[in-house]
Structures are given as structure tokens and as C-alpha cells.
Amino acid sequence: MKITLKNILAVSIMGIASLSPLCAQVTVSQAKVTASQAKELLAKADANTSFAGTDYKADYVVVTDKPGSGKSATNATMYRRDSNSMFTILITGPEADRGKGYVQFDNSIWFFDPRDKQFTYTSAKSKFQNSCINNSDLVPFTFSKDYAIKSYKEVNLGKFPCVLYELSATSKGVDYPAIKLWVSKEDGLIRKKEDYSLSGQLLRTTAIPSYQKVSGRSIPGGMLVVDNLRGTKIDGKMQYEKTQISISNVTFQKQPNTVYSKQFLQDKSN
């Protein structure tokens, strides 16, 4: 099926509907997880987002809904080589943005605009294409390295038995100083994440309602990110900006080394 804005909006609606278990009342389970098991599960959650030892390529559709302003969609192809902390994102649509892209190597991220053939330095914390997601949301997570476990407990998040972590940052380079993270006990997959400020204000909410299996690996089928700071009051009700990400055509085939270079984006713009 060709991925179009019409199709992805239909998928987004189904994805949001499937989130109802994630928004259900959280109940504490009776089983007990030890501190060492909690640390192991958090490390497993990180590992599940990393594809070291292989390349990763997938098509992304990013639909952002800004209440009062309408929806916009960005199509992109993502290339990742996690073992070298490299990635390339090539924007393929809409037509006005075709050829734009991002490339990361040597711990630096560069944005390319084909209109002036220039690269501009950006950061992991920057918003991707004016959406609710950061560039860092598109690469492996490192919670077990960059955060300390402040507390944890077993809960049921809808149908998923999870461990709910409260994490506090130990690294200055992270996007958010405090995080709540729901990780399913059975498979170590991240189901929900809440990002907080130092003062305890909720900044963003991320839900991952489903995963797809590709070559034995678990890849999110979609993600919903809600910006809890940006929104518009419509008919007396606050409606927040949100971004739905859908991922398809995943492959782990090795890509040419040239893919992870500025030259690759320049060549694709010609």
C-alpha cells in the first residue's frame, strides 16, 4: 500500500484508538521485582532500541496535528548504523521539503537544505521538522547509562504487566532531567514515557501501542508523542499538539558507507 497522508491519518486514528489500554487506570501488581532485576530490565529496554552489529533502514511517516492549524505530514527514509553512532535521514515528502536531510557522525548532527546546498549544525534536542519529536527520539535510548533509578514498582498498564520507573538524569547531555518510564516485564519493551522538568512539570507524553517483528527484532509499528506544553483551547477544552510516527519497510541489510555522509545528501538533492 502506498503511504499517503490519507492512509497515515487512518492509521493514526486506529493507533490512537489502540492506545486506550495505555491510558487505562494503572494498577499495582502483587509480584515483586528485585533491584537487580529492575536494573537488568532497564538495560534490556535500552538494548531493544539499539541495532548494534547491523545497519537499519526504514520508512517513516510523521504526522503532526496542531489544533487550530491542521495536520501536516513528513515522509522520510531513516538509515542507522548504531555501532558507530551514525544516522542519515532523507526527507522524501512533501515536495517542498524533498531532499532535505540530517546526518550524524563524530557526535555531531547536521541539517542539509538543498535550496542553498548548505549544512547547518543542529542537536539531538532539536525538534524534527517542527514536530513534537526530538532528533534523539529517532536513535537508541540510553536510560540505564544516563539516568539513575529513583524508584520503581510493578504496575499493569492496560493489558501489559510493566515496571514503572522514576528516573533522574545523571548526565547533562540528556533532553529531560526526569522521566517516568513504563517497560513491559515480559519482553523489555518501552510502552510509555513521560518527560518532566526539574520542577516536576509534565512536558511530553509518548505512547508506543504496538511493535512489529522484523528479523527477530522488535520495532515500534507506531508512536504517539503529545506535547503537554503546546496547545490551543478549542470550545473550552485544551487540545495539545501531537505527532504520530508510523514505521514501515524495515530492513537490516548493510548499507554503503557513503550513506552516512554529507555527500550522500548532496547527491540525493541533484
pLDDT tens per residue across span 200-235: 999 999 999 899 999 999 999 999 999 999 989 888
Candidate from 68-77, 230-239, 253-262 with smallest mean pLDDT:
230-239
Using the predicted structure, report yes or no on whether residue 9 has a pLDDT greater than 90.
Answer: no
Candidate from 15-19, 46-50, 129-133, 224-228 with smallest mean pLDDT:
15-19
Q: Are 141 and 176 in contact (CB under 8 A)?
A: no
- Residue with the larger pLDDT of the pair 129 and 13: 129
The mean pLDDT value of the chain amounts to 89
Cβ–Cβ contacts within 10 Å for residue 162, how many?
Answer: 24
Q: Are 119 and 112 in contact (CB under 8 A)?
A: yes
Q: What is the pLDDT of residues 50-62, one digit of tens each?
A: 998 899 999 999 9
Its pTM stands at 0.86
Using the predicted structure, report yes or no on whether residue 140 has a pLDDT greater than 90.
Answer: yes
Q: Considering the chain, what percentage of its residues have pLDDT values greater than 90?
A: 80
- pLDDT band at 126; cut points 50, 70, 90: very high
Fold of 5-268: outer membrane lipoprotein receptor (LolB), chain A (2.50.20)
Q: Are 103 and 87 in contact (CB under 8 A)?
A: yes
Q: Are 115 and 95 in contact (CB under 8 A)?
A: no
Please write down the long-range contacts of 17-25, taking CB distance under 8 Å and 24 or more positions apart.
Answer: 18/209, 18/210, 19/207, 19/209, 19/224, 20/158, 21/157, 21/158, 21/159, 21/160, 22/157, 22/158, 22/191, 22/192, 22/207, 22/209, 23/158, 23/207, 24/157, 24/158
How much is the pLDDT for 32?
85
> Element (H or E) spanning 38, and its range?
helix 35-48
- Residue with the larger pLDDT of the pair 111 and 12: 111
> Would you list the domain boundaries of the chain?
5-268
Q: What are phi and psi of 23, to 5 degrees?
A: -95, 0
Q: Are 183 and 191 in contact (CB under 8 A)?
A: yes
Q: Are strands 101-105 and 108-113 parallel, antiparallel or unpaired?
A: antiparallel
CA distance linking residue 82 with residue 102, whole number of Å: 15
Residue 125 CA: distances (Å) to CA of 51, 138, 164 = 21, 11, 24
